[in-house]
Chain A
Amino acid sequence: AQSVTQPDIHITVSEGASLELRCNYSYGATPYLFWYVQSPGQGLQLLLKYFSGDTLVQGIKGFEAEFKRSQSSFNLRKPSVHWSDAAEYFCAVGANRDDKIIFGKGTRLHILP
C-alpha cells in the first residue's frame, strides 16, 4: 500500500532563507508524486507534480522538488522564502492516473520576519 511520510510537523525559517521540506513515500512502482499547499482556511493548491522524466520538477511560486528513487524521496525546495509562503504543505502520492491520492500529514511552515 502507498504511504507518505513527512517527518517534520513544523518548520520555521527566516524570510529570505532557503527551504527544504522532506517527503518520503512508500510504493512498489514509480509513483505519481505531488506537493500541495494549504493556506489557513483555504483549499488545496497544487504546487508541482512528478510523473516521469526529469527528476527535478519546477512548480509555481518558485518551488521545485527532486525525485530520488534510491531514497524514495520527493523533497520540496525554495531558494528564498517569502512571508506569504507561510502555510501547510502536503506531500502526496498516487498509484495510477485515476487513482486516489494519499496525503502525508503535512508540514506547517512558519516564517520569521
Chain B
Amino acid sequence: EPEVTQTPSHQVTQMGQEVILRCVPISNHLYFYWYRQILGQKVEFLVSFYNNEISEKSEIFDDQFSVERPDGSNFTLKIRSTKLEDSAMYFCASSELRGDSYEQYFGPGTRLTVT
C-alpha cells in the first residue's frame, strides 16, 4: 500500500539554525499538509498546499516557516531560524480527491529537537 514517507525521523538542531524537513507524499495525491504535535499536546494544523501554492495556513505558520515542492515528489517544510518552542513532532500528510471519499494519509513524523 502506498505511504507517505518523511526524513529524517529525528533532527536535533541548535536554536537559530535553519532546518528542512522532507516529505514524499503519495505519488498521485494533489493536496499536501504539514501538522505539528508538541509533546503531550494535540496535533495542530500548520499549512496546506495545492497547485504549487499555499491554500491555507494557521497563525502558527509565521514568516519563519515556508513550504516548497521542489520537484515532482518532495514536499518540504523549512524553518529559517529555529526556536526552542519549535521542538515538536512534525507530520506531513497528503490527500487526493476521489469522488465522495477523501482521506489525509499521514507520514510517520519527524521529531525536531531544538537545543
Contacts and interface: CB of A to CB of B under 8 A. Distances in A.
**Looking at chain B, what size class is its interface with the partner chain?**
20 to 34
A53 B63 CA distance: 42
Contacts of B48: 98-100
Contacts of B55: 98
Interface stretch (B11-19, B80-88, B96-104): B96-104
Contacts of A101: 35, 45, 104
Contacts of B100: 51-52
Nearest to A105: B42
Interface residues of A, number: 22
A49 B35 CA distance: 19
B108 A42 contact: yes
Q: Is the interface of B mostly helix, strand, loop or mixed?
A: strand
Interface string B17-55: 000000000000001010100000111110010100001
Contacts of A104: 42
Interface string A25-48: 000000010001000001111100
Given A42-B108, A43-B106, 6 more contacts: A44-B106, A45-B106, A90-B43, A100-B56, A100-B58, A102-B45
Interface of A: 32, 36, 42-46, 49, 51-52, 90, 92, 97-106
